[in-house]
Structure 1
Amino acid sequence: MFWSLILNVCFISHCKFASSHIKEGLIMEQDPESRESIENFTTDYKIIRTLGRGRFSVVKMAYHVPTLTCVAIKVLKNTEKCSSVMSREVDILKSLGHPHIIKVVEVVQTREATHLVMEHASQGDLLDRIRECGYLKSWEARRMFRQILEAVQFCHDNNIVHRDIKANNILIDGRSNAKLCDFGLAAKTLPGQKLIDFCGTLPYCAPEFFEAEEYEGRPFDVWSVGVLLFFMVTGHLPFLGKSFAEVRRQISSANFSIPPHVANDIFNVIVEMLMINPSRRPSIQQIMMRPMIKDSQAYSPPTSIQTFTGTPSPSIIKAMRVMRHTPEKSTESLIDQNINERTLVFIMK
């Protein structure tokens, strides 16, 4: 029973913010739960559908009516436990403005729930990307991994440790750029400061997590990023087993094997990051100096605002008619984004 629960947390309960482009009639076919939740939210947003569920939250895809913008909304009920989790996540995300960290647009409080409105990543998450193609090609892995490292380094430089870095917490925007998300388990900590609380996803947890009563957050993140890189270039996790004890045993002994197709520069970084002794793992800043990361710079397109171009599709015009917008005003709204202080900058493609 316990192992079943762990598997559910690790592999099934993914809060996926992203989705494909809005299909014809999608807005017209909102699920009942979505319609019910919006009644106590705000008329600025129209909930389209549920994207995923976590232990404490539900994530919905929504439409910002004034700007015709697709967003993701993380909803937590206002219980004592959920409120503290959301408050911590909101505080941390508001302090971390970075191109490769998911952007918070606003927080809307109602009597029943807290709504965290975030930018929408239109290409899904990294877990789905890897599942679709088996594993990432070396050039794509280098480019995306560099972006993930930049996000994690920015967190560490600002005394934030994420503690739940994994493939489904990396979103992919319309330009195929990585976005680190879900800071529900993140913590503010100074270098060398010890942490004691349980967190994370089992296959990504560092060995010291099982062996000591306290651990440092930064080396923990480095280990998780190493597991993520392994997954990106092989298509499977390095530590798997039929029981909690078996997975823990593999992690504690760093028992993994890297397939021969993995390039040497990537191989070397994985081995460095998956050192059993946390003091022997390089910092994120040191990893950024490795040839694998330096060579990836050529593959990094400039990050820029996603803007609407061209003529709106019939599905968008149909949706806007329901919202009492004329076709002309729909087009104007998409092109002219000077609306109000809450205008969103990531426009749905």
Structure 2
Amino acid sequence: MEVVRETVCCDKETFSSIYQMLTTLGRGTFGTVNLAFHMPTVSYVAVKILANVNGDCARNKNEVDIMRSLVHPHIIRFLQEVQTREMTYLIMDYASKGNLLHQIRKPGGLQECEARRLFGQVAQAVKYCHDNWIVHRDIKANNVLIDASGNAKLCDFGLAVRVAPGKKLKTFCGTLAYCAPELFGVEPYDGYASDVWNLGVLLYYMVARHLPFQASSSMGLKQQILAANFSVPHHVPLDIFNVIVEIFMISPNRRPTISQILTRPMIRDSQARESIQSLPGTPSPSIVSTMAGMGYQREEMIECLEDQKFDQAMATYPSLQHQAPGGDCCHHRGKPTKPMEPGLVLNPADLHTFSGTPLEGKLLQEPLAGIPTSHPSRFRCLSPQTQSLGKSELGSE
């Protein structure tokens, strides 16, 4: 989807008058994600803060360009980019139920039907990325958010890249416990196949409640991944078991594509598929009227929405659109949505209480050890002979 590249540039004081920072939601490798209050619409948003230093500007620009191009119900919605002299602020929807890692770790874990539904939604988001020649490169439980309706939203495109058909990648990146074996080799690798491996680790984690590859050291973990040495608990249903085994093939060419995964019974027979949604072609008259009362020009609003311009109006419209009771953009209880009164100062203590649920994590943030590994096993992915062949293809350590 083509969009008009527009960025709001302002000083720090002007930014603070529009977005009031409340609390830190998570800290990643390249930036911090904060919960913020959008003053004009009286709503909550997530703000990723990136520093404009050294070589970061090119990486920041790449992340913004990719996020602007993605419009999918299971990818976190990008609202606006704001530039100050020192920082780049990425304004996104706030997913109020935290991330998938929190859901997996909660008492009792995920119900099987929930695991199927959420994995199907993440797979749809990844297919949309791959169809648009985008490789995520860091698909993991930390980077899947859950919105107020309980739906999955893929996030954190800080490592994502556009990859032309047939082009290979060389850079080692991602979270070690999720990395595909070919990333440890010396040859360029297929980014799309490595995303599929990430999905396999995620699916395993969702149904087993522990990661498939675990060790007390990075070297030990690497050896397990290179050998695809894992076991599947007995309680995992056969159709899910089959997808896990199919994905964890050492040779990338033997793994299914994301399109093929979506045809498997565990997803095909579930109700995970949903229609891809986007901003309405005809803007809502009630929202346009509300924005007109906030000082926006009607013609300007309609033009920016139709052309998908990422300016202040574009950021305000979806914020108002999603302000429904129980929605992610929560506002004060018992008070209708209205423009912020001039001079009104918000007291964070009067707002809802939020848990510090991380939106994105550093490398090796996932647990690698300390979780029992003596789970009942009914499968070893490859025979010792095949495992050895896989190692020789990748090169010994």
What is the TM-score with the length of structure 2 in the denominator?
A: 0.68
- Aligned residue type for 2:232: I
- Aligned residue type for 2:120: R
Bigger shift: residues 306-315 or 208-217: 306-315
Matches within 5 A, 1:244-255: 244-255=218-229
Tell me the CA shift for residue 83 of structure 1. Answer: 1.4
**Which string of whole-angstrom CA distances, capped at 9 and with x for unpartnered residues, describes residues 251-282 of structure 1?**
01111111011111111001111111100000
Alignment partners' CA distance in 2, 1:204 and 1:323: 49
Matches within 5 A, 1:168-207: 168-207=142-181
- Aligned residue type for 2:23: R
Tell me the CA shift for residue 309 of structure 1. Answer: 3.6
What is the TM-score with the length of structure 1 in the denominator?
A: 0.77
Aligned position for 1:73: 47
Taking structure 1 as reference, are residues 180 and 156 closer, same or farther at Cα in structure 2, changes over 3 Å only? same
**Which string of whole-angstrom CA distances, capped at 9 and with x for unpartnered residues, describes residues 279-331 of structure 1?**
000000001000000122268699796432499416999xx7896289xxxxx
Bigger shift: residues 156-165 or 292-301: 292-301
Gaps of 5+ in 1: 1-36, 327-349
Tell me the CA shift for residue 250 of structure 1. Answer: 0.4
Bigger shift: residues 127-136 or 143-152: 127-136
CA contact (8 A) 2:170 2:187 kept: yes
Q: Secondary structure at the match of 1:63?
A: strand
- Of 225, 229, 233, the residue aligned with 2:199 is 225
Alignment partners' CA distance in 2, 1:45 and 1:109: 13
CA contact (8 A) 1:226 1:270 kept: yes
Aligned position for 1:308: 324
Gaps of 5+ in 2: 1-10, 279-320, 347-397
CA contact (8 A) 2:72 2:277 kept: no
- Cα RMSD over matched residues? 2.6
Which of 1 and 2 has higher RCO (CA within 8 Å, sep 6+)?
Answer: 2
Q: Secondary structure at the match of 2:91?
A: strand
Tell me the CA shift for residue 191 of structure 1. Answer: 2.5
Taking structure 1 as reference, are residues 306 and 261 closer, same or farther at Cα in structure 2, changes over 3 Å only? farther
Alignment partners' CA distance in 1, 2:343 and 2:325: 21
CA contact (8 A) 2:12 2:84 kept: no
Q: Secondary structure at the match of 2:15?
A: coil
Aligned position for 1:19: none
- Of 214, 220, 234, the residue aligned with 1:240 is 214
Bigger shift: residues 191-200 or 227-236: 191-200
Alignment partners' CA distance in 2, 1:54 and 1:92: 18
Tell me the CA shift for residue 49 of structure 1. Answer: 1.2
Alignment partners' CA distance in 2, 1:76 and 1:53: 11
Matches within 5 A, 1:238-277: 238-277=212-251
- Of 9, 21, 26, the residue aligned with 1:52 is 26
- Aligned residue type for 1:233: V
Alignment partners' CA distance in 2, 1:161 and 1:299: 21
Q: Does 1:124 align with 2:98?
A: yes
Q: Secondary structure at the match of 1:308?
A: coil
Aligned position for 2:351: none
Q: Does 1:324 align with 2:344?
A: yes
The structure that has the greater radius of gyration is 2
Taking structure 1 as reference, are residues 197 and 266 closer, same or farther at Cα in structure 2, changes over 3 Å only? same
Alignment partners' CA distance in 1, 2:140 and 2:175: 8
Alignment partners' CA distance in 2, 1:215 and 1:276: 12
Tell me the CA shift for residue 210 of structure 1. Answer: 0.8
Alignment partners' CA distance in 2, 1:213 and 1:40: 48
Alignment partners' CA distance in 2, 1:156 and 1:302: 15
- Aligned residue type for 2:152: A
Aligned position for 2:17: 43
| Fraction of identical pairs, as percent | 52
Deviating runs (4+, > 4 A) in structure 1?
298-305, 314-317, 320-323
Aligned position for 1:85: 59
CA contact (8 A) 1:174 1:306 kept: no
CA contact (8 A) 1:52 1:59 kept: yes
* Number of positions where the alignment pairs a residue of Structure 1 with one of Structure 2: 289
Q: Which has a greater percent of helix? A: 1
Taking structure 1 as reference, are residues 272 and 71 closer, same or farther at Cα in structure 2, changes over 3 Å only? same
Taking structure 1 as reference, are residues 77 and 265 closer, same or farther at Cα in structure 2, changes over 3 Å only? same
Q: Secondary structure at the match of 2:233?
A: coil
- Of 130, 152, 173, the residue aligned with 1:156 is 130
- Aligned residue type for 1:307: Q
Q: Does 1:216 align with 2:181?
A: no
CA contact (8 A) 2:120 2:273 kept: no
CA contact (8 A) 2:120 2:272 kept: no
Taking structure 1 as reference, are residues 299 and 260 closer, same or farther at Cα in structure 2, changes over 3 Å only? farther
Taking structure 1 as reference, are residues 303 and 262 closer, same or farther at Cα in structure 2, changes over 3 Å only? farther
Taking structure 1 as reference, are residues 48 and 101 closer, same or farther at Cα in structure 2, changes over 3 Å only? same
CA contact (8 A) 1:109 1:115 kept: yes
Bigger shift: residues 114-123 or 131-140: 131-140
- Aligned residue type for 2:260: Q
